[in-house]
Chain A
Amino acid sequence: MIFSEIKKRAEAEWDQLQHSKELTLFIGAATCGRSAGALEAKKTFQDEFEKRGIRANIIEVGCLGPCWAEPLISIVKPGGPNIFYKNVTTERATELVEKFIVAGDPLPEYALGLVGDKGDYSIPVLWDMPNFKSQERVLFRNFGFIDPTNINHYIANDGYSGLNKALSMKPAELIEEIKTSGLRGRGGGGFSVGRKWEAGLAAKEKQKYVVCNADEGDPGAFMDRSVLEGEPHSVLEGMIIAGYTIGAQTGYIYVRAEYPLAVKRLQGAIQQAKDMGFLGENIMGSGFSFEILIFQGAGAFVCGESTALTLSIEGKRGMPKAAPRPRTTEVGLFDKPTLLNNVKTFSYIPQIINKGGAWLSGIGTKDSKGTAVFALTGMVNNCGLIEVPMGTTIREIIYDIGGGITDDKAFKAVQTGGPSGGCLPEEFLDTPVDYDSLTAAGSMMGSGGMVIMDETTCMVEVARYFLDFTQKESCGQCTLCKLGTKQMLNILEDIVAGKGRPEDIDTLFNIGKAVNTGSLCGLGQSAANPVLTTIKYFREEYEAHINDKICPAMQCKELLSYVINADTCIGCTACAKACPVEAITGEKKQVHVIDQAKCIRCGMCLEKCPKKIRAVECVPGRLNEGGK
């Protein structure tokens, strides 16, 4: 079948859904939605509909982004707008059926926003809300709206049009278009995608590979997973175009086995694309043949590094190869030229080909084009996935999109770039997020994790946390990464336990610099970043831990004490009853006392002390046994 007919049929199906005479529900059923209870809510809707004899289309869609509002379900009444409801528990689901679907009250208090004709609804338009207004949805344009398991939904929304167009173009023209777009690799390195593809095309071997890096391993990062779960076809289309451009026959998607839903979505999408003739022999009559295979990674963080990744696909141990070595575009998978890009990078390609490179280069900054996708987490009101134009400041992200710091606390630091990124303090709030500005500030773009920390975060503890992660994930071959991170971790553990020594900051700096300069691969060369940047920007916190034995954020258990204020204690015994180690003594209606030698600083006494009394206090520093 020719593409125009495929598209026509898909559009007809899509149109029918848009103008359905029946109620339509879109269930945000990506992994995030599911873990928040989306499928339970879906079941409730189904049961209620069956009970009441209501006919409805119920469609599982990908993730719209706002994790804080999950489970997120949108309801479209025939002819009405698309109303997104947040935190749809099973109770809320029942209520929505009763009050909105049956009785007609749209329950604005449960609504996040609406898309489409506002009409008389007293619900804000989603895209006008501060949470969404500063976002620019390029990769996310279809998330939450199309069924990722239905290829026709994708085709009706310009899907595979990019491939159709690409097959009528010459490889050099495609590369020129991508160069015009200014797209840089979204895996973190930020290498020019056009130049990489050009090198792939220039490689003189017959057998070439395209590899998609979906080994997303940063703690708290789930951008790639959302793309794979929300719109897997965009990744496949990008890869097929890449294969056509450089002359590859086979594509691999290296995806974490910990992403079972993404794997399932990909498997389904590959089959559909084959059935439609977008994959396989002689794609759309062009004479070009391409296949895509899924390879599931076994969970090693380091396999996100390109050379380790290709070794892993080859069935070997995933260990990065030391530079100097040939580029992957020259010697890659099975020693053949290999074009390796991140999930998001491939996902941009169809739209670039479809709309032209100039379209993407119109978004973003001079050297960082397009949008940036972040998984916004930490002490921020609105956690979730966001997509903003490159150049948006960190302040806008936190305060406009993120809705500010949780409980109106003060901002302390932002960490970008995953476990090996850097922690930037308040003075960098107006830094635009783009490759070069973040690098200049001492952090990095990475693949898109963004962790917000408030005044209650201990920066030494943050460094310890990330070091603990990187040292466990070191591949083990290179001395500096394997042993250096461990020794730094040892010292940081001492510091947070109040056993720090005055020379420790220098030692940390010395080892950290050696690790960052001398390590074998990118993981090692950035492993010390959390330590080095926190020393650089929060040195006084280290000094307080080491010299004064105080944790300014009052987080390090060994550096704080609980005391009972004799003036306010009413002797209610609540604290003594709650204490798990019987460290609190005192007669009823008498002032209670905490035995500092017994106290394990669990904080239960503080929690149990009646809010009106507040006799238990947490004080900085470790009191000795006498309570002094």
Chain B
Amino acid sequence: MADKIELTINGQLVTADKGMTILEAALSKGMYIPHLCHHRELEPVGACRLCLVEIDGKWKKTVISCKTEAKEGMVVQTETPEISEIRQATVELLIADHDVDCLACGQNTRCALQRVADHVGLNKKRLQRLKPPEKKLPIDDSNPFFNFDPNQCVLCGICVRTCDELQNVQAIDYAYRGLGTKIAGFGDKLRIESSCESCGECIVRCPVGALTEKDSPKPTHQVKTVCSFCGCGCGLLLGVRDNRIVSAQGNVNSPANKGRLCVKGRFGYKFVNHPDRLTSPLIKRNGEFVKADWDEALDLVTDTFSKNKGEKFAAIASAKATNEDNYILQKFTRAVMGTNNIDHCARL
């Protein structure tokens, strides 16, 4: 078990794991400090400047809580008048620069900026004095699975760090400087032309509506399952609405993927409801496939297999099956069919 330390946040004694930042210590006890660029799985960068707190006593200083380690005996204030003023100015600046069409936004009600604004409160008069951006930037909808709307982006850099630190792909980074700063792929080309692998990990972490999945109605409930695409066995939470799969989310409690998914697991569920999908066995009769029931189909298979034992037979195993299934297949091929003609589609 991790060593524990004790610190005081807003007059409340808080026990935290040694090595935690002040922000982590506060969040672990359900105490909210506004933040946008913090993500528990990523290195802190302190870009949004919202999580400023004041430390009293011997460490007296205004610091960003996402990067400052909580220390034994620290006394932290998260809502002093000075900090509130800075925070309010920061949120107003963000809102003025943001396309606040919230009701039409895919992140509505889940948006971190909404939460920050709600917590901090805005000075409407001052906000009205601030000018919106001179021009709207085009939405990049080149990727078949997601859209990037730079007008909603708060430049928290979570997507950049996700792509770099977690996925090791580094398809995107900050580009340009000053007000023109934006997140872009190499050469500021469309996303589809970047080295993006469409894993969608950035979309999951985007705190606002800048990165949103295409055509994804909110599910009414979720079903816990395992991804059927390969043998990894990633835990999936399939979102269901009207008895159709409308979303896929990585299961954070699954030891195989800890919540993360690849492009297939996250976006490859649409075949389930596809009209071309086979829903019953087909048997070729007189040169044409004809619907059959399972007993009939399995009888045909066993019958044909029994007649073709030995070197006439070969089996190809699949990467979509689990290790156990593939093991059984090679055992069956060797022991039952009496041949070593067994191969695998992913063999190099």
Interface residues of A (CB under 8 A from B): 300, 302, 317, 319, 321-325, 471-480, 482-484, 486-487, 490-491, 501, 503-504, 507, 510-511, 513-515, 517-520
Q: Please determine whether B129 and A482 come into contact, CB atoms closer than 8 angstroms.
A: no
Q: Is the CB of A480 within 8 A of B89?
A: yes
Asked if B58 is at the interface (CB within 8 A of a chain A CB), the reply is no
Instruction: Report if A478-B129 is in contact (Cβ < 8 Å); known contacts: A300-B177, A514-B85, A514-B86.
Output: no
Q: List 20 A-B contacts (CB under 8 A).
A: A322-B46, A323-B67, A324-B67, A475-B174, A475-B181, A476-B155, A476-B178, A478-B49, A479-B49, A479-B50, A480-B90, A482-B178, A482-B179, A483-B93, A483-B96, A483-B97, A484-B93, A503-B126, A518-B86, A519-B49
Q: Does the CB pair B68–A324 fall under 8 Å?
A: yes
Asked if A476 contacts B174 (CB within 8 A), the reply is yes
Which chain A residues border B178 with CB–CB below 8 Å? 471-474, 476, 482, 486
Please name the 10 residue pairs, one residue from A and one from B, whose CB atoms are nearest each other, closest first. A476-B181, A322-B46, A514-B89, A483-B93, A518-B86, A514-B86, A477-B47, A472-B178, A518-B49, A490-B131
Question: CA A216 – CA B85 in complex, angstroms?
Answer: 34
How many residues of B sit at the interface, in one of the four size bands? 35 or more
> Which residue of chain A lies nearest to B47 when distances are taken between CB atoms in the complex?
A477
At the interface, yes or no: B173 with Cβ under 8 Å from chain A? yes
Question: Which of A317, A476, A501, A504 counts the most chain B CB atoms within 10 A?
Answer: A476
CB-defined contacts of B157 to chain A, threshold 8 Å: 477
Q: Which of B124-145 contact A (CB under 8 A)?
A: 125-126, 129-131
Chain B residues whose CB sits within 8 angstroms of the CB of A325 once the complex forms: 67
B227 within 8 A of A: no
A322 and B47 contacting across the interface, CB-CB below 8 Å: yes
Residue of A whose beta carbon sits closest to that of B94: A479
Bound together, the chains give a CA A240 to CA B46 distance in angstroms of 36
The answer to whether residues A480 and B93 also contact, given A503-B129, A504-B129, A517-B82 and a CB cut-off of 8 A, is: yes
Set A324, A507, A515, A518: member contacting B129, Cβ < 8 A: A507
Contact across chains for B97 and A478 when beta carbons are under 8 A apart: no
Cross-chain contact A510 with B89 (CB below 8 angstroms): yes
Q: A476-B179, A482-B179 are in contact. List 4 more A-B contacts (CB 8 A).
A: A317-B174, A475-B181, A478-B48, A503-B129
- Bound together, the chains give a CA A514 to CA B85 distance in angstroms of 7
Q: Does A501 lie within 8 Å of B129, measured CB to CB? A: yes
B125 / chain A contacts, CB cutoff of 8 Å: 503
Contacting residues of chain B (171-223) with chain A, CB-CB under 8 angstroms: 173-174, 176-181
Beta-carbon contact of B46 and A317 below 8 Å: no
Report Cα–Cα, A416/B273, bound state, in Å.
69
In the complex, what residues of A have CB within 8 A of residue B82's CB?
Answer: 517
Say whether A319 contacts B93, CB under 8 Å.
Answer: no
The total of Cβ contacts below 8 Å across the A-B interface reads 118
**Which residue of chain A is the closest to B157 with respect to CB atoms?**
A477
Q: Is the CB of B111 closer than 8 A to any CB of chain A?
A: no
- List of A residues within 8 angstroms of B45 by Cβ: 321-322, 477
Residue of A nearest to B129 (CB): A507
B154 interface hit (Cβ, 8 Å): yes
Tell me if B64 counts as interface (CB < 8 A to partner A). Answer: yes
Contact A476 B93 (CB under 8 A): no
CB pair A487–B90 under 8 Å, yes or no, is: no
Q: Are B176 and A476 in contact (CB under 8 A)?
A: yes
Q: Say whether B174 contacts A477, CB under 8 Å.
A: yes
Report B61 CB to chain A, min CB distance, Å: 9
B residues near A517, Cβ cutoff 8 Å: 62, 82, 86
Binding site for A on B (CB under 8 A): 44-50, 52, 62-64, 67-68, 82, 85-86, 89-90, 93-94, 96-97, 125-126, 129-131, 154-155, 157, 173-174, 176-181
- Give CA–CA (A312, B237) in the complex, Å: 42
A471 vs B176: C-alpha distance when bound (angstroms): 13
Chain B residues positioned under 8 Å from A324 (CB to CB): 63, 67-68
Residues of chain A lying within 8 A (CB to CB) of residue B180: 476
A513 touches B85 (CB 8 A): yes
Whole-angstrom distance between the alpha carbons of A487 and B132 in the complex? 9
Q: Are A480 and B130 in contact (CB under 8 A)?
A: no
* Distance from A258 Cβ to chain B, minimum over Cβ atoms (Å): 16
Q: Which residues of B contact A479 (CB under 8 A)?
A: 47-50, 90, 93-94, 154-155
Residues of chain A lying within 8 A (CB to CB) of residue B68: 324
**Chain A CB within 10 Å — which of B48, B125, B176, B177 has the most?**
B177
Known contacts A302-B177, A483-B94, A490-B130; is-contact A322 B64 (Cβ 8 Å): yes
Q: Does the CB pair B154–A507 fall under 8 Å?
A: no
B89 touches A471 (CB 8 A): no
Of chain A, the residue at the smallest CB distance from B68 is: A324
CA of A322 to CA of B66, assembled, Å = 10
Which residues in A have their C-beta under 8 angstroms from that of B50? Answer: 479
CB <8 Å contact, A487 and B49:
no
A471 and B179 form a contact (CB under 8 A) = yes
> Which residues on B sit within 8 Å (CB–CB) of A472?
177-179
Complex Cα spacing A519 to B82, Å: 14
* CA A482 to CA B44, docked complex, whole Å: 19
- A463–B220 Cα distance when bound, in Å, is 55
CB of B179 within 8 A of CB of A486, answer yes
User: In the complex, which residues of chain B have a beta carbon less than 8 angstroms from the beta carbon of A483?
Assistant: 93-94, 96-97, 179
What are the residues of chain A within 8 A of B177 when measuring CB–CB? 300, 302, 472-476
Of B82, B89, B173, most A-chain CB atoms within 10 Å: B89
Contact across chains for B173 and A487 when beta carbons are under 8 A apart: no
Distance between Cα atoms of A319 and B173 in the complex (Å) = 12
Residue picked from A479, A511, A517, most chain B C-beta under 10 Å = A479
Question: Contact check: which of B67, B89, B129, B174 meets A322 at CB < 8 Å?
Answer: B67
Minimum C-beta distance from A487 to chain B (A)? 5
A487 to B157, CA, bound (A): 22
Point out the residues of chain A lying under 8 angstroms from B48, CB to CB. 478-479
A501 and B126 alpha carbons, distance in the complex (Å): 12
User: Which of A480, A491, A504 neighbours the largest number of chain B CB atoms within 10 Å of its CB?
Assistant: A480
**Cβ contacts under 8 Å, B179 to chain A:** 471-472, 474, 476, 482-483, 486
CB distance from A436 to the nearest CB of B (A): 21
Contacts of B174 in A (CB 8 A): 317, 319, 475-477
Nearest chain A CB to B158 CB, angstrom units: 12
Nearest-neighbour CB distance to chain A for B187, whole angstroms, equals 14
Nearest chain B CB to A396 CB, angstrom units: 38
Q: Which residues of B are found within 8 Å of A501, using beta-carbon distances?
A: 129
Nearest CB of A to B320, in Å: 39
Which residues from B are CB-within-8-Å of A317? 173-174
How many angstroms from the CA of A593 to the CA of B89 in the assembled complex?
48
A507 contacts across to B, CB distance below 8 A? 126, 129
Q: Which of chain B's residues has its CB closest to A474's CB? A: B178
With both chains docked as a complex, state the minimum distance between the C-beta of A322 and any C-beta of chain B, in angstroms.
3
B266 to chain A, nearest CB (A): 28
Give CA–CA (A484, B97) in the complex, Å: 10
Cβ contact of A520, chosen from B49, B93, B129, B176, cutoff 8 A: B49
B64 contacts across to A, CB distance below 8 A: 322-323
The answer, among B90, B96, B155, B181, for a CB contact under 8 Å with A518, is B90
B125's nearest neighbour on chain A, judged by CB, is A503
**Please, which residue of chain A has its CB at the minimum distance from the CB of B52?**
A518
A380: min CB distance to chain B, Å: 31
Report how far A319 CA is from B46 CA in the complex, Å: 12
Is the Cβ of B176 less than 8 Å from the Cβ of A491? no
Q: Which residue of B lies closest to A322 (CB)?
A: B46
